[in-house]
Structure 1
Amino acid sequence: MAIINQFDKRSGITYVYESTSYWDKEKQQPRAKRKLIGKRDPATGEIIPTDGRGKKRKEQLEPLQPAKPGPVPIDRTSRRFYGATYLLDEIGNTLGLSQDLKQCFPTIHKQIQSIAYYLILESDSPLFRFERWSSLHKHPYGGNIPSQRSSEIFSSISEEMKSSFFKLQEKRRHEDEYWAYDTTSVSSYSQTLCQVQYGKNKEHDRLPQINLALVFGQKSGLPFYYRKLAGNIPDVSTLKNLLADFEALGFEKVKLIMDRGFYSEANINGLFKERLKFIVAVQTGISFVRREIDKVYDTIRSYDNLDEQHGLYSTTVLTEWDYRQERPYKKDVIAEKRRIYLHVYFNIDKYADDETSFDRKLLSMRKELQDGKHTPEHESFYKKYFEIKETPVRGMQVTVKEDAVRKSKRYYGYFTLMSNEKMDAMTALQLYRNKDLIEKAFGNIKDRLNLRRLLVSSERSLDGKLFVSFVALIYVSYIKNHMQETGLFKDYTVQSLLDKLDLIECFENPGHALRVGEVLSKQKQIYEALAITPPA
């Protein structure tokens, strides 16, 4: 005899069955009989016995009493830590996050929030230690969530629910802001997940991986959309489906900022086709970029083009893009010119560093040739930059090809950004550099939220855990943004700040309102710096 737990996604109730195995003589195979014995209490995990069908009929006859508005009455005496979870509660209310979760996940929104809180406050602990944390802290769900139950919650998070959540979150962002888009790799030990593939790992990890793409609002500093990708998909191939997702979700007035890994002619044409604004980093090795740099090569290093704050020379070139759009339904191709701005930057310090590095490499390679220590991996470099002659009298003579060296050094110190919205070069650069917040977010989601190695074994569990981690990332991003703005990082890390608030206790007694313990002046200062009213 065994006890079986079965979660009903429609009602959110976990039913408990008593399963008895027996041998079926007719079918010559083992079978099992199940008997409903009760349902699992979500708060305590205990089994609430059922009295069978009679109780069900009785419940159908008795009118349901509507729930009274307002806070749920306290039914037990407790003393728990409250300061850090209170902070997260208030952030959720401020951002409308709690409201959006409740609307999209009506039966499990509290569980999602509690697991997200746990990931934030116990970043180094696995989920099976949730019970201990839950018993010590006041949190939205209020009860224990066993490992099996958390897997059921992850599996119950559907694509439709997530899409609804993304739509609500997008509406809360600033209308006129650029969205930073980038991807990262997340390694996995799983051998059963179909999207876990070997690919270009951005942390040089030798494990297979999935790729995770994030979209951040630059003014809000908060993420509001993500995509899970197969581990072997390169960045440049992801933009087409991202634009399709934006269209399906109804996102309008999109402005994207992307690094050079997303640049391709097809992607730029796709952005023009969807009439989206963009800023994209472009490699200086591309021929049309070099042609535009050549136009300003002799004038860019003038006093008027120097920005003292950034230590850069910059200028903007108005040019044209050869736009092409294939129309299979009409069996033709639209070919026309589109206006585009190429922002050109020159960093004299970077030029000196690149030149020194190249000269040292040149000396090293020439010594290899002179000593007769050819390396197959360097063969293309030898051919490009050296003239090799060997005579019976003078032996091997290695001469540097000065023209080839000059051509390579010509574009050292330069970098470029491309945009289709009119702005000056330094404005474009500032917007692009703000994209760094997405790099910090990747660190948060891997280290702070314990996603550096995925240990889930099913696709649905993976999708659900990624979503809950994404929700947690919104909270963490809010905290880090305000810590940065108010200078809290001088005195605290994120963990030490949360630990300091976590010491605040709350007391619950039946028949009495929630009572909060002592809040010190430094703790009040932290709340106020994070734009949160301290608990009273």
Structure 2
Amino acid sequence: MDSIRNIIKVRVNNQDYLYQYENAWDKEKQRSYPKHRTTVGKLVNEKVQLGRKFLAANPQYKDIVFKFEDHKLIAVSDLPVVNDAGVNAVLSKTFPLNAGASYVLKEIARQDGLLQDLKAVFPCHWKDLLALAMFFVIYPERTLANYDITAAHSQLGGNPLDSQRISELLEGITLDQRQQYMKRRLATSCGGENNNFWALDTTSISSYSETLSKVAYSHNKEDPEMPMIKIAFLIDETNGEPLYYKVLNGSIADVTLLRNLFVDLAQLRDKQINLVLDRGFCSEHNFLMMFRNHVGFVAGLRSDLAIAAQTIDQLMPSLKLALPETYSTTIGCYCATKQIDWYSSTRAHGKEQYPFYIHVYYDKQREASEILNMTELVESFKGRLEKGEIPNAPLFRKFFK
């Protein structure tokens, strides 16, 4: 039995965990560093316990006793080694499911035009890229280190590439190829008879990296003291396919992202585009930019904007009457819509006017609940104040002196 190499021991909460890592070379610092790692197991009383996910992906190591020594796991038991026939026997149990899922995924890719776009942009490697994508869909718990064994006993297609070949394949994809592929998928999504709605949002990923240039400090909701990196996604509402992505500096606010998006979508301006945005993208500048680019949009509106505050003041008195004709059974609250004219005047574009629809929603049950919660909060502040405590909260300072 060959040893399992590239193993490091990391102590977490008084427990020693074992990870298998893959090195990469830092050209600037002229040294290697761990690129990514996979959990192998842990040390319990100096004995190696392999993890369930690692064993599921590597059945040949089942019932083998290992010891950890010199960054390796070395087999020390006299138990029989699982040979290729044993591995085949384990993998054959999942082969029918693998074949069925592979067929369905390939058919979806063909019908949706994804297969055609892969062939056009990656004529030499489309089979391998499609196989890698299907591998992640069918086996979400496995890592690319397990790909060659799985691919050799499946109907994923492509070549059973090892980790080194996969790294070379992915690193060989150029920025121009990525942009070509995304533009083709965007054009395909625009090609239907109905006007598609695309959801635009960002996700933030905390990072300890000191080498990634886009890692920066910003408003990190999960850990304010951690720097992060941002990724913007554009998702097709109909099928959930990611049509566009962009890796961003962690300090960039969501409200500033639309300009980059419209630059990348410049070739699709003759198509009808509709964006769905949350309040993070809410700004008068963004609305004006979408109007000028003839982009339809549905966006969360911040109540501190003048147009929102004015509309709420006008519509709320009638909504609070709770008349049946203003009630929507679909969303379970009272609602009203007001059309206003959006005016803008600039030296570059002159005077502009666009129709703008503001929808206001009123939930009577939620209002009652919020009033009750606020009353209980104020009463709790009062009780603490009578005991000599001074709560450090903005709401306390708002109601008490």
TM-score w.r.t. length of structure 2: 0.69
Does the 8 Å contact 2:200/2:277 carry over to 1? Answer: yes
The one-letter amino acid of 1:103's match is A
Higher deviation after alignment, 117-126 or 182-191: 182-191
SS of residue paired to 1:176: coil
CA distance in 1, matches of 2:345, 2:373: 40
Does the 8 Å contact 1:178/1:254 carry over to 2? Answer: yes
Number of the residue aligned with 2:183: 167
CA distance in 1, matches of 2:184, 2:354: 34
Structure 2 residue 120 is the aligned partner of structure 1 residue 103: yes
**Cα distance change, pair 280–138 in 1 and its aligned pair in 2 (3 A):** same
Number of the residue aligned with 1:343: 359
Identity of aligned residues (%): 28
| Correspondent of 1:238 among 242, 257, 260 | 257
Structure 2 residue 198 is the aligned partner of structure 1 residue 179: yes
SS of residue paired to 2:317: coil
Quote how far apart the aligned CAs of 1:339 are. 2.3
Number of the residue aligned with 2:150: 133
Number of the residue aligned with 1:315: 336
CA distance in 1, matches of 2:227, 2:346: 36
Structure 2 residue 323 is the aligned partner of structure 1 residue 302: yes
CA distance in 2, matches of 1:187, 1:147: 26
Structure 2 residue 287 is the aligned partner of structure 1 residue 273: no
Does the 8 Å contact 1:187/1:205 carry over to 2? Answer: no
SS of residue paired to 1:120: helix
| Correspondent of 2:164 among 148, 155, 162 | 148
Does the 8 Å contact 1:198/1:231 carry over to 2? Answer: yes
**Cα distance change, pair 324–108 in 1 and its aligned pair in 2 (3 A):** farther
The one-letter amino acid of 1:316's match is T
Number of the residue aligned with 1:89: 106
The one-letter amino acid of 1:309's match is T
Does the 8 Å contact 1:269/1:324 carry over to 2? Answer: no
SS of residue paired to 1:299: helix
Does the 8 Å contact 1:170/1:251 carry over to 2? Answer: no
CA distance in 2, matches of 1:90, 1:205: 45
Structure 2 residue 283 is the aligned partner of structure 1 residue 283: no
**Cα distance change, pair 342–249 in 1 and its aligned pair in 2 (3 A):** closer
SS of residue paired to 1:163: helix
Does the 8 Å contact 1:321/1:340 carry over to 2? Answer: yes
The one-letter amino acid of 1:319's match is I
Quote how far apart the aligned CAs of 1:316 are. 0.7
Quote how far apart the aligned CAs of 1:90 are. 1.3
The one-letter amino acid of 1:385's match is F
CA distance in 2, matches of 1:260, 1:163: 28
| Correspondent of 1:123 among 140, 148, 153 | 140
CA distance in 1, matches of 2:109, 2:288: 39
CA distance in 2, matches of 1:218, 1:114: 25
**Cα distance change, pair 324–132 in 1 and its aligned pair in 2 (3 A):** farther
CA distance in 2, matches of 1:310, 1:249: 34
CA distance in 2, matches of 1:251, 1:218: 20
Structure 2 residue 219 is the aligned partner of structure 1 residue 200: yes
The one-letter amino acid of 1:320's match is D
Q: CA RMSD in A?
A: 2.4
**Cα distance change, pair 299–202 in 1 and its aligned pair in 2 (3 A):** same
CA distance in 2, matches of 1:292, 1:381: 26
Cα distance per residue 1:244-298 (max 9 Å; x no partner):
2211565732111101111011111211222221111112233331211221222
**Cα distance change, pair 270–157 in 1 and its aligned pair in 2 (3 A):** same
Number of the residue aligned with 2:18: none
CA distance in 2, matches of 1:324, 1:366: 51
Does the 8 Å contact 1:211/1:228 carry over to 2? Answer: yes
Number of the residue aligned with 2:399: 385
CA distance in 1, matches of 2:155, 2:302: 52
Q: Unaligned 5+ residue runs, structure 1?
A: 1-77, 328-332, 389-536
Which structure has the greater CA radius of gyration? 1
Does the 8 Å contact 1:163/1:249 carry over to 2? Answer: no
The one-letter amino acid of 2:185's match is Q
TM-score w.r.t. length of structure 1: 0.52
Cα distance per residue 1:362-418 (max 9 Å; x no partner):
22222333333224x42x4334222x3xxxxxxxxxxxxxxxxxxxxxxxxxxxxxx
| Correspondent of 2:131 among 92, 110, 114 | 114
CA distance in 2, matches of 1:123, 1:114: 13
Cα distance per residue 1:323-352 (max 9 Å; x no partner):
24453xxxxx74544321111111112212
Does the 8 Å contact 2:203/2:232 carry over to 1? Answer: yes
CA distance in 2, matches of 1:198, 1:277: 33
Structure 2 residue 238 is the aligned partner of structure 1 residue 224: no
Does the 8 Å contact 2:275/2:296 carry over to 1? Answer: yes
Q: Unaligned 5+ residue runs, structure 2?
A: 1-90
The one-letter amino acid of 2:277's match is M
CA distance in 2, matches of 1:188, 1:237: 22
**Cα distance change, pair 204–353 in 1 and its aligned pair in 2 (3 A):** farther
CA distance in 2, matches of 1:309, 1:323: 35
**Cα distance change, pair 348–260 in 1 and its aligned pair in 2 (3 A):** same
Quote how far apart the aligned CAs of 1:104 are. 0.3
**Cα distance change, pair 153–187 in 1 and its aligned pair in 2 (3 A):** farther
Number of the residue aligned with 1:365: 381
Does the 8 Å contact 1:183/1:212 carry over to 2? Answer: yes
Q: Which has the higher contact order (CA 8 A, sep 6+)?
A: 1
Does the 8 Å contact 1:269/1:325 carry over to 2? Answer: no
CA distance in 2, matches of 1:121, 1:220: 18
Does the 8 Å contact 2:206/2:227 carry over to 1? Answer: yes
The one-letter amino acid of 2:100's match is G
Does the 8 Å contact 1:131/1:145 carry over to 2? Answer: yes
Count of matched residue pairs: 302
SS of residue paired to 1:282: coil
Quote how far apart the aligned CAs of 1:205 are. 8.2
CA distance in 1, matches of 2:269, 2:176: 14
